Structure 1
Amino acid sequence: MDTAKSPASKAAEITKELGTKAENKAEQVKEKLTYLWHEIAPWQQDNHYITSGYRPQSNSYAKSWKSLFYIHNETVNIYTHLLGAVVFLITSYVLFSELKPRYDTATREDVYVFACFFAGAVACLGMSGTYHTIQNHSHEVAVWGNKLDYLGIVGLIWGSFVPVLYYAFQAETGLMRVYWTMITTLAAGTSVACTHPQFRTPALRPVRALMFVLMGLSAVFPVLHGIKLYGVGHLQRSIGLNWVVFQGVLYIVGAGLYAARVPEKWAPGRFDIWGSSHQIFHVLVVLAAASHLVGLVRAFDYAHSSRAVVDKVLGL
């Protein structure tokens, strides 16, 4: 015999059902890994052409690092530079074990200038990858992490200059020191600007790109000076000029795309996860560093080859 449910039991069932739905909804919110532009905190909003794939503020380093295991709009930025840092670290070990045995004339100075490059590359890529990983932790962490990211770029540019100047002006140590002083001064000034609170605002994106490009373009002065003293052919051999120029082109193209926010500016939302300007910039930075390394290895080989000895004797 069926008995009608009392109003009290019906109310209890409804309450239970609503509670279950609320729990399910809460669980869905909890499991939501990425958010849209308008759903994230204002301090996280930097590029409005990237409309989705954002990680919410985590307030936890562990949660931020766990984002390595799912796809979001920082995934490419993180992995290109974290993996790049690992590759350059391993490459440095391999090269350092090969430098001295490769030529009897190899010196500690060779090791030191290569160390400057590798330190700059690993620091830049490592700090960049780390910053993009923990960027969503909190506003405070994002601020100091961003400063370290910019300082890493300065370190890479400085570390790239040191060995080029060493191999370009081995016969002119006075000039070598002058240009070392120039790039160190520029690096110090850029570092101070990088740590200014206004430097990281979206409005100053073009200024940031221009500052780093100008710092990199300061290489034009010693290169032109070297061409005047020794000729293009000599610099091709002594510093791997083609590779150095190619590196500069990659940096400029990457910085230009970053400043212009291309291609996402042309199709907002289409490049949220793959192919945004910042991601392209990251890839080009790694390729530029690799190009520079090829030039340095060629410079090292030339400096310690019999051809270099012949050129010195002939005054070429």
Structure 2
Amino acid sequence: MLSLKLPRLFSIDQIPQVFHEQGILFGYRHPQSSATACILSLFQMTNETLNIWTHLLPFWFFAWRFVTSLYVTDIKNDNYSWPMLVYMCTSCVYPLASSCAHTFSSMSKNARHICYFLDYGAVNLFSLGSAIAYSAYTFPDTLVCTTFHDYYVAMAVLNTVLSTGLSCYSRFLEIQKPRLCKVIRVLAFAYPYTWDSLPIFYRLFLFPGESAQNEATSYHQKHMIMTLLASFLYSAHLPERLAPGRFDYIGHSHQLFHVCVILATHMQMEAILLDKTLRKEWLLATSKPFSFSHIAGAILLCIIFSLSNIIYFSAALYRIPKPELHKKET
């Protein structure tokens, strides 16, 4: 009878420090796992298993919604729907990239860094997709066709480049300066989110305008709450920091962070789709829909510069002496 031997798991004192997670003591995979062992670990309870599945399953849900939207949209002629399709596509990219990063991050020290470099790039691509959709559908009435509106997406592109660079750079500080590493990484993602959300903040707390006073408002509020909760969990390492070893497999902060991020994206998607439908007449009468060249140019610039960042920092991993970047615990 054919039997399948699952990879052996390790405790925190058996692996290099670069693989350590705060408050997680057991359930680590071999730090030089093969690709096959990484894939097998999807079906074995490790401290990464739920990190993988909490983004892999939502990827299929978002992919289904994206394909469904493609099926009912006249892509060639309905340029009003293009920003929505771009947003839905990027909402599929980041959970897939994250689940792959968590799956293959135990292949080697450098592979771990490169996996998360790609993860950061995907998150920033999603940030740009959000900005494009916000610009097209969710801006409050008084900010539509203003100078801020005109340059909003261009700044979002610049933000993705800066954020990818900062978040990749932060990984070089993980061992020697872990607190600075965390601060830089949180800021790297908080800044693009804040910029993207400025029109939403204005709409929720200042002057939404008549066309923006609709059912989407409650979804925008829920999205904001879930995003703030996700940020707190990511930064605080709770509850595992209070009880190391108790939440190694189920319930640690990164799993909860993933769940909150997915819920936030779901709320955001519902809000954008409602705004797109309910404000269509007003938006088409007030502003011009995005052209293909504007959308394609923004996405292409983001991909080119983000990949340039990822390639640069990946190459740097092999230039820096190993003792400085990958110090082992004594």
TM-score by length of 2: 0.74
1:278 aligns with 2:254: yes
Q: Which residue of 2 aligns with 1:269?
A: 245
Q: Which residue of 1 aligns with 2:184?
A: 207
Q: Which residue of 2 aligns with 1:237?
A: 214
The Cα of 1:53 is off from its aligned counterpart by: 1.0
Conserved 8 A contact 1:216-1:248: no
1:86 aligns with 2:60: yes
Which residue, out of 25, 28, 33, partners 1:51?
A: 25
CA change 1:96–1:110 in 2 (3 A) is: farther
CA change 1:309–1:250 in 2 (3 A) is: closer
> Partners in 2 of 1:98 and 1:273 — Cα distance?
41
Conserved 8 A contact 2:162-2:188: no
Q: Which residue of 2 aligns with 1:167?
A: 137
The Cα of 1:97 is off from its aligned counterpart by: 1.9
Q: Which residue of 2 aligns with 1:3?
A: none
The Cα of 1:207 is off from its aligned counterpart by: 2.9
- State the AA in 1 paired with 2:268: H
- State the AA in 2 paired with 1:41: P
Secondary structure of the residue that 2:94 maps to in structure 1? helix
- Greater Cα shift, 267-276 or 154-163: 154-163
Q: Which residue of 2 aligns with 1:191?
A: 164
The Cα of 1:222 is off from its aligned counterpart by: 2.6
Conserved 8 A contact 1:244-1:292: yes
The Cα of 1:302 is off from its aligned counterpart by: 0.8
Please tell me the root mean square deviation across aligned C-alpha atoms, in Å. Answer: 2.9
CA change 1:199–1:42 in 2 (3 A) is: closer
> Partners in 2 of 1:266 and 1:273 — Cα distance?
15
1:145 aligns with 2:122: no
> Partners in 2 of 1:44 and 1:134 — Cα distance?
12
- State the AA in 2 paired with 1:191: T
The Cα of 1:225 is off from its aligned counterpart by: 5.2
- State the AA in 2 paired with 1:80: T
Conserved 8 A contact 1:146-1:200: no
1:260 aligns with 2:236: yes
The Cα of 1:107 is off from its aligned counterpart by: 5.5
Which residue, out of 35, 40, 58, partners 2:15?
A: 40
> Partners in 1 of 2:184 and 2:283 — Cα distance?
45
Q: Which has the higher contact order (CA 8 A, sep 6+)?
A: 2
Q: Which residue of 1 aligns with 2:309?
A: none
The Cα of 1:110 is off from its aligned counterpart by: 3.2
- Greater Cα shift, 106-115 or 154-163: 106-115
Quick check: which has more Rg, 1 or 2? 1
The Cα of 1:197 is off from its aligned counterpart by: 5.7
The Cα of 1:143 is off from its aligned counterpart by: 1.1
- State the AA in 2 paired with 1:111: S
Conserved 8 A contact 2:62-2:88: yes
1:111 aligns with 2:87: no
> Partners in 1 of 2:43 and 2:107 — Cα distance?
16
- State the AA in 2 paired with 1:216: Y
Aligned residue pair count: 275
Secondary structure of the residue that 1:196 maps to in structure 2? helix
1:158 aligns with 2:133: no
Identity level (%): 23
> Partners in 2 of 1:310 and 1:134 — Cα distance?
45
Conserved 8 A contact 1:33-1:56: yes
Secondary structure of the residue that 2:72 maps to in structure 1? helix
> Partners in 2 of 1:278 and 1:250 — Cα distance?
14
Conserved 8 A contact 1:136-1:142: yes
> Partners in 2 of 1:261 and 1:199 — Cα distance?
20
Where structure 1 has 5 or more consecutive residues not aligned to the other structure, the ranges are 1-29
CA change 1:107–1:176 in 2 (3 A) is: farther
> Partners in 2 of 1:173 and 1:136 — Cα distance?
48
The Cα of 1:246 is off from its aligned counterpart by: 2.0
TM-score by length of 1: 0.77
CA change 1:35–1:302 in 2 (3 A) is: same
Where structure 2 has 5 or more consecutive residues not aligned to the other structure, the ranges are 287-330
